[in-house]
Amino acid sequence: MATNRGLRRAYTVWAAIYDPFTRFLRRGRRRSIALLDIRPGDTVLLVGCGTGADFEFLPRDAQCVAVDLTPAMLRRAAAKVEDRRIQLAEMDAMDLRFPDDTFDKTILHHIVAVVPDPVRALREAERATKPGGHLVVLDKFWNHARRPPLFLRLASAVFAGYVTAVDRNFPAILAQTSLDILQEIPMGFGGLYYLYLLRKPASPTR
């Protein structure tokens, strides 16, 4: 079972090899951030920023706060800030230390399938996003009504506590928030990789 303590330890090791190992994911990151259409003056929250692999796709005038659980990841990310307006903070995705309705845009790349409680993490991102604001989620999901195949269940049992789960159902997670889907884009990898553009309602609906 995934825990913050275990994930922090694992990603302290992963930090040294994360960039070359995940370079093939750059295209998805670029497409996801483009969907947000970040404008000058927008405030952006980047949850689970890791080594800062998303930074190159952010507009240089974007006002961004990038958070991660693992100090080793944040140290790598700091080297990529350059002249961008990015503030780094060590923070738990399931317990974001921001007031309600703070950010115009929120990015969750490869974090919903990693955290111990994905519903709590998505709710926290929703809470911190302004009404009418947009969020993007890019991750691995098993979005089918039937039970995941045995190999996915076994993979998640082994890797969920150290790397990522691969059997989480995003519609089920999303149903426990008030967020609306604007776009759902399959991104390949055998139908396990998805990109979502979401919107927080302008007024409470649930």
Residue 121: CATH number of its domain: 3.40.50.150
Does 89 reside within a domain? yes
How many domains does the chain fold into? Answer: 1
Parent domain of 70: 4-199
Does 124 reside within a domain? yes
The two beta strands, 86-90 and 180-186, are unpaired
Q: Pick the closest to residue 115 from 178, 174, 172, 68 (CA basis).
A: 68
- Mean pLDDT in residue range 60-88: 96
Q: How far is CA 138 from CA 1, 71, 75, 89, 91, in A?
A: 22, 22, 23, 21, 20
Is residue 206 over pLDDT 70?
A: no
Give the number of other CB atoms < 10 A from CB of residue 25: 17
Is 53 exposed, middle or buried (CB count within 10 Å of its CB: 0-12, 13-18, 19+)?
A: buried
Judge whether 46 and 74 are in contact, CB under 8 Å.
no
Does 14 reside within a domain? yes
The string of pLDDT tens digits covering residues 2-60 is 899 999 999 999 899 999 989 999 999 999 999 999 999 999 999 999 999 999 999 99
Does 23 reside within a domain? yes
Does 204 reside within a domain? no
Judge whether 135 and 129 are in contact, CB under 8 Å.
yes
How many whole angstroms separate alpha carbon 204 and alpha carbon 189?
Answer: 36
The string of pLDDT tens digits covering residues 93-106 is 999 999 999 999 99
Does 205 reside within a domain? no
Instruction: List Cβ neighbours of 114 (8 Å cut-off, separation of 6 or more).
Output: 2, 7, 48, 163, 164, 165
Judge whether 36 and 136 are in contact, CB under 8 Å.
yes
Place of tokens 């929250």: 45
Question: What's phi and psi for 151, nearest 5 deg?
Answer: -65, -35
Q: How far is CA 15 from CA 20, 49, 68, 188, in A?
A: 10, 12, 12, 25
Is residue 204 over pLDDT 70?
A: no
